[in-house]
Amino acid sequence: MAAVIFTDYSSSTAAAAAAVARLLPSSRYRFGDGVLHSRQSLLLHFAPRNPIMLRTTATSCASASPSVVTASMVAETSAKVIDGKSIAKQIRDEITVEISRMKDTVGVVPGLAVILVGDRKDSATYVRNKKKACESVGINSYEVNLPEDSTEQEVLKHISGFNDDPTVHGILVQLPLPSHMNEQNILNSVCIEKDVDGFHPLNIGRLAMRGREPLFVSCTPKGCIELLHRYGVEIKGRRAVVIGRSNIVGTPAALLLQREDATVSVVHSRTKNPEEITRQADIIIAAVGQANMVRGNWIKPGAVVIDVGINAVEDAKSAKGYRLVGDVCYEEACKIASAITPVPGGVGPMTIAMLLSNTLSSAKRIHNFK
Amino acid sequence: MAAVIFTDYSSSTAAAAAAVARLLPSSRYRFGDGVLHSRQSLLLHFAPRNPIMLRTTATSCASASPSVVTASMVAETSAKVIDGKSIAKQIRDEITVEISRMKDTVGVVPGLAVILVGDRKDSATYVRNKKKACESVGINSYEVNLPEDSTEQEVLKHISGFNDDPTVHGILVQLPLPSHMNEQNILNSVCIEKDVDGFHPLNIGRLAMRGREPLFVSCTPKGCIELLHRYGVEIKGRRAVVIGRSNIVGTPAALLLQREDATVSVVHSRTKNPEEITRQADIIIAAVGQANMVRGNWIKPGAVVIDVGINAVEDAKSAKGYRLVGDVCYEEACKIASAITPVPGGVGPMTIAMLLSNTLSSAKRIHNFK
């Protein structure tokens, strides 16, 4: 599929959200803040000039394949909307209080360093958003901007500097890096104690192992589980299906669910009967990057659905020419599920809240502040 | 359940195997060599003087619960026996040839160091068996025996020495360690390039991540997958269920299967309907350490069953007073599955073959020998 994959996303206009809203029951749907803090963890598929792709990804899932709209889906909308924007706001407020307490008690202010290489406009926007989010909760942010033709060694030198800098408690390297750099080398050079992204294999390994604790859990999957917790969804003993097995969302999400004693199945591109397996799940986390892929008939009545996908589909009615939809066909799913995250305004706002949370946790650990 | 859990197992008598054989169709069953090279990766449940446990774990699965013997199970035995002993022998022969070629070409002989602390007889036996296996293929083995009251620092000193020793390509710490030592600290001190057990979280993390390669995969799960490969079992696109989520078998086995594009579900002690989920699997890996837990009616007709469990159940007819059975009720399963590993003689012999294979791979990597 000729989808353009973005590695992060930010939109400050309400137009795209408004376009999505036209398809949704307005009484239940709440807008996000228009800013999706997804970083590289979310695949954004957007191909406004590719009608073939748009036919497959479906601008409106029900109209694309009406045969899957079952009788039960004609019933009244019943799913509770899991309001990621509101929960993220609550978490940011909690972080603000903790940072203030830490500053007052031990005189330490958490610091997040972000390294940006090159002049991609989208990357610059994401970095700016992170900086703003840090400021809003009282985290110091440090930014290094390097030209596109910098050497890998220059980037490594800056990471090394932040590794040694006691005022920095978290280090982020904005992806993608220029193609002449080895991303794996660069990410591995971030010291494990400051890997607030949780992408280091040592953190993933500890996450997978019983009796071990990762220092950090990647922000998006952590945000998914946090939403389940805050909405009181029981995980232990439940069947969970994770759709997608990326290093930054699907795999850590599956490992997190298993740590919480769910029985987890991972569905991916090679799975022959994804809908049948997904239909067994009490909890679904969809993180595959395909607009509206999970239809109403994939969902067991009463299941809880966490939609990580953020996909742009062509929409002539929108000023931007597109609107954002998830991996789950919301208009169908909201009639079957007991609770569901909207897109935007579901998982998106949680990602940056978890980044702030990881930075605070790091500072607390380094300074042994309880 | 009051099961005694051993961390390794070796038996040089044919008595236990013979006791198992009485329950099995002799024309299909081949004895193992009587030596189970399982190390700490296998849970051996043995409670010869605990009749309650024996009732629950069942010396003969069919007689313990005849109601689960279905019509199809009365039919002729149909499963192909996956002969781990024979495959392990074949792999050892291949390793012997490679070691000889390496010695002749670059003058390097792979070396495996084993550290044994204390005077547990079982541990001493396992170490002796590993030493013998090394000798049989031409690997140099180095052994350090430390008294029970050694300090953690003494163990760490020896590991550090082996980490620096260019003639050593693999390091094993025989478990269990005395209780005054921190196992995690000690295992983490083995340098990643010589962690032939694959227990280091960095290796587990790389195993979990797409696009990353672990330096070593734990011996028992690697042996399970190797058996599937050598018997031509297709993994890609198949449904797989792993029963058990231990760090050393279940979790890496699930990650390995997923790397090979199976759709994997992990069943564990908190799973509410394990038999229903297991029945969906084309491939079952049972690694839970409960005698005969997986019954015939848990298995989809034609599934492939890999039984990692080695459990001792009381058997008055045996000279030793017990016999060995797997986690799967073999006498039922062999009538439903298309292929199955016996216990003993299935996964057991593969574990030490994989240890030798990992040691050879390590030496090749360190000396850049193709």
**pLDDT tens digits, A201-256:** 999 999 999 999 999 999 999 999 999 999 999 999 999 999 999 999 999 999 99
Is A197 an active-site residue? yes
Q: Which of B190, B39, B178, B222 shows the shortest CA–CA distance to B113? A: B190
Residues of B in contact with A211 (CB under 8 A): 184, 247
Mean pLDDT of chain A: 84
Q: Which of A57-61, A236-240, A346-350 has the lowest mean pLDDT?
A: A57-61
B59 — pLDDT class (breaks 50, 70, 90)? low
User: What pairs with residue A171 in β-bridges?
Assistant: A113
Helix (H) or strand (E) holding A320: none
In a domain, B162, yes or no: yes
In a domain, A318, yes or no: yes
Instruction: Report pLDDT for A59.
Output: 54
Tell whether A215 lies on the interface with B, counting CB pairs under 8 A.
Answer: no
Residues of B in contact with A268 (CB under 8 A): 258, 261, 263
More confident residue, A219 or B75: A219
Residues of A in contact with B277 (CB under 8 A): 239, 263
Tell whether B205 lies on the interface with A, counting CB pairs under 8 A.
Answer: yes
Residues of A in contact with B200 (CB under 8 A): 205
- Stretch B159-173: mean pLDDT, rounded? 98
Same domain, yes or no, for A184 and A141? yes
Which residues fall within 8 angstroms of residue B219, CB to CB, at 6 or more apart? B39, B41, B196, B197, B198, B350, B351, B352, B354, B355, B358
On the question of pLDDT at B271 being above 50, the answer is yes
Determine the distance from the C-alpha atom of residue A26 to the mean position of all C-alpha atoms in its chain, rounded to a whole number.
24
Q: Which of A287, A314, A347 shows the shortest CA–CA distance to A36? A: A347
Going B236 to B237 to B238 to B241, the CA torsion angle's sign is positive
Same domain, yes or no, for B282 and B172? no
Helix (H) or strand (E) holding A98: helix A84-106
Q: What percent of chain B has pLDDT over 70?
A: 79
Instruction: Report pLDDT for A346.
Output: 97
More confident residue, A248 or B69: A248
Distance from CA of B105 to the nearest CA of A (A): 33
A78 — pLDDT class (breaks 50, 70, 90)? confident
Same domain, yes or no, for B53 and B91? no
More confident residue, A249 or B43: A249
Q: Which of A124, A108, A68, A130 shows the shortest CA–CA distance to A297? A: A68
In a domain, B267, yes or no: yes
- Stretch B29-44: mean pLDDT, rounded? 31
Tell whether B268 lies on the interface with A, counting CB pairs under 8 A.
Answer: yes
Q: What percent of chain A has pLDDT over 90?
A: 77
Instruction: Report pLDDT for B340.
Output: 98
In a domain, A111, yes or no: yes
- Stretch B24-44: mean pLDDT, rounded? 31
Whether residue B247 and residue A200 make contact (CB cut-off 8 A), yes or no, is: no
Tell whether B203 lies on the interface with A, counting CB pairs under 8 A.
Answer: yes
Same domain, yes or no, for A225 and A312? yes
Same domain, yes or no, for A273 and A194? no
Whether residue A267 and residue B263 make contact (CB cut-off 8 A), yes or no, is: yes
On the question of pLDDT at B62 being above 80, the answer is no
User: What pairs with residue A186 in β-bridges?
Assistant: none
Which residue of A lies nearest to B270 if distances are taken between CA atoms?
A237
Is B327 an active-site residue? no
In a domain, A30, yes or no: yes
Tell whether A235 lies on the interface with B, counting CB pairs under 8 A.
Answer: no
Active-site option among B174, B282, B315, B335: B174
ipTM above 0.95 for this complex: no
Domain boundary, last residue among A156, A187, A216: A216
Query: How far apart, in whole angstroms, are the C-alpha atoms of residue A280 and residue A272?
Result: 15
* B42, burial (CB in 10 Å: exposed 0-12, middle 13-18, buried 19+): buried
Residues of B in contact with A212 (CB under 8 A): 184, 201, 247
Whether residue A263 and residue B263 make contact (CB cut-off 8 A), yes or no, is: no
On the question of pLDDT at B206 being above 70, the answer is yes
Which residue of A lies nearest to B185 if distances are taken between CA atoms?
A212
Whether residue A205 and residue B206 make contact (CB cut-off 8 A), yes or no, is: yes
Active-site option among A85, A130, A222, A364: A130
Residue of A40, A257, A263, A276 to mutate for B, most B C-beta atoms under 10 A: A263
Distance from CA of B247 to the nearest CA of A (A): 5
Which residue of B lies nearest to A248 if distances are taken between CA atoms?
B209
Is A290 an active-site residue? no
* Terminal Cα distance for chain A, rounded: 49
Which residues fall within 8 angstroms of residue B106, CB to CB, at 6 or more apart? B367, B369
Query: How far apart, in whole angstroms, are the C-alpha atoms of residue B237 and residue A264?
Result: 17
Which residue of A lies nearest to B204 if distances are taken between CA atoms?
A205
Same domain, yes or no, for B113 and B159? yes
Residues of B in contact with A259 (CB under 8 A): none
Query: How far apart, in whole angstroms, are the C-alpha atoms of residue A253 and residue A306?
Result: 11
Instruction: Report pLDDT for A196.
Output: 97
Same domain, yes or no, for A321 and A344? yes
Tell whether A206 lies on the interface with B, counting CB pairs under 8 A.
Answer: yes
Instruction: Report pLDDT for B10.
Output: 28
Cβ contact A75:A255 at 8 Å: no
In a domain, A290, yes or no: yes
Whether residue B212 and residue A200 make contact (CB cut-off 8 A), yes or no, is: no
Q: What is the CATH number of the domain that holds B293?
A: 3.40.50.720
Going A261 to A262 to A263 to A265, the CA torsion angle's sign is negative
In a domain, B65, yes or no: no
Tell whether B192 lies on the interface with A, counting CB pairs under 8 A.
Answer: no
Which residue of A lies nearest to B261 if distances are taken between CA atoms?
A270
Instruction: Report pLDDT for A62.
Output: 52
Instruction: Report pLDDT for A43.
Output: 36
In a domain, B159, yes or no: yes
A58 — pLDDT class (breaks 50, 70, 90)? very low
- Stretch B203-222: mean pLDDT, rounded? 96
Distance from CA of B216 to the nearest CA of A (A): 13
More confident residue, B4 or A211: A211
Residues of A in contact with B271 (CB under 8 A): 237, 263
Whether residue A263 and residue B251 make contact (CB cut-off 8 A), yes or no, is: no
Whether residue B203 and residue A202 make contact (CB cut-off 8 A), yes or no, is: no
Tell whether B206 lies on the interface with A, counting CB pairs under 8 A.
Answer: yes
Which residue of A lies nearest to B280 if distances are taken between CA atoms?
A277
On the question of pLDDT at A108 being above 90, the answer is yes
More confident residue, B14 or A69: A69
Q: Which of A4-8, B152-156, B202-206 has the lowest mean pLDDT?
A: A4-8
Which tokens hold the place of B102?
């390496």
Residue type for position B143: E
Same domain, yes or no, for A204 and A228? no
Which residue of A lies nearest to B272 if distances are taken between CA atoms?
A237
A77 — pLDDT class (breaks 50, 70, 90)? low
Same domain, yes or no, for A35 and A183? no
Tell whether A246 lies on the interface with B, counting CB pairs under 8 A.
Answer: yes
Which tokens hold the place of A185?
């080398």
Which residues fall within 8 angstroms of residue A71, CB to CB, at 6 or more apart? none
Active-site option among B130, B194, B335, B364: B130
Same domain, yes or no, for A253 and A342? yes
Distance from CA of B183 to the nearest CA of A (A): 12
On the question of pLDDT at A10 being above 80, the answer is no
On the question of pLDDT at B262 being above 60, the answer is yes
- Stretch A31-41: mean pLDDT, rounded? 30
More confident residue, B145 or A55: B145
Mean pLDDT of chain B: 84
Determine the distance from the C-alpha atom of residue B337 to the mean position of all C-alpha atoms in its chain, rounded to a whole number.
20
Q: How many CB pairs under 8 A join A and B?
A: 99
Tell whether B201 lies on the interface with A, counting CB pairs under 8 A.
Answer: yes
Q: Which domain holds residue B44?
A: 4-60+77-83+219-350
CA geometry: angle A361, A362, A368, nearest 5 deg: 85
**Total tally of structural domains belonging to chain B:** 2
Residues of B in contact with A210 (CB under 8 A): 245-247, 251
Same domain, yes or no, for A193 and A310? no
- Stretch A188-204: mean pLDDT, rounded? 94
Distance from CA of A247 to the nearest CA of B (A): 5
* B351, burial (CB in 10 Å: exposed 0-12, middle 13-18, buried 19+): buried
More confident residue, A330 or B67: A330
Instruction: Report pLDDT for A320.
Output: 92
Distance from CA of A70 to the nearest CA of B (A): 25
Facing A212 at nearest CB: one of B201, B245, B261: B201
Q: Report pLDDT digits (tens) over A249-288.
A: 999 999 999 999 999 999 999 999 999 999 999 999 999 9
Same domain, yes or no, for B357 and B209? yes
On the question of pLDDT at A198 being above 90, the answer is yes
Q: What is the CATH number of the domain that holds B193?
A: 3.40.50.10860
DSSP A294: B
Out of A19-23, A31-35, A232-236, B61-65, give the one with best mean pLDDT: A232-236
Tell whether B248 lies on the interface with A, counting CB pairs under 8 A.
Answer: no
On the question of pLDDT at A174 being above 60, the answer is yes
Whether residue B270 and residue A209 make contact (CB cut-off 8 A), yes or no, is: no
Tell whether B200 lies on the interface with A, counting CB pairs under 8 A.
Answer: yes
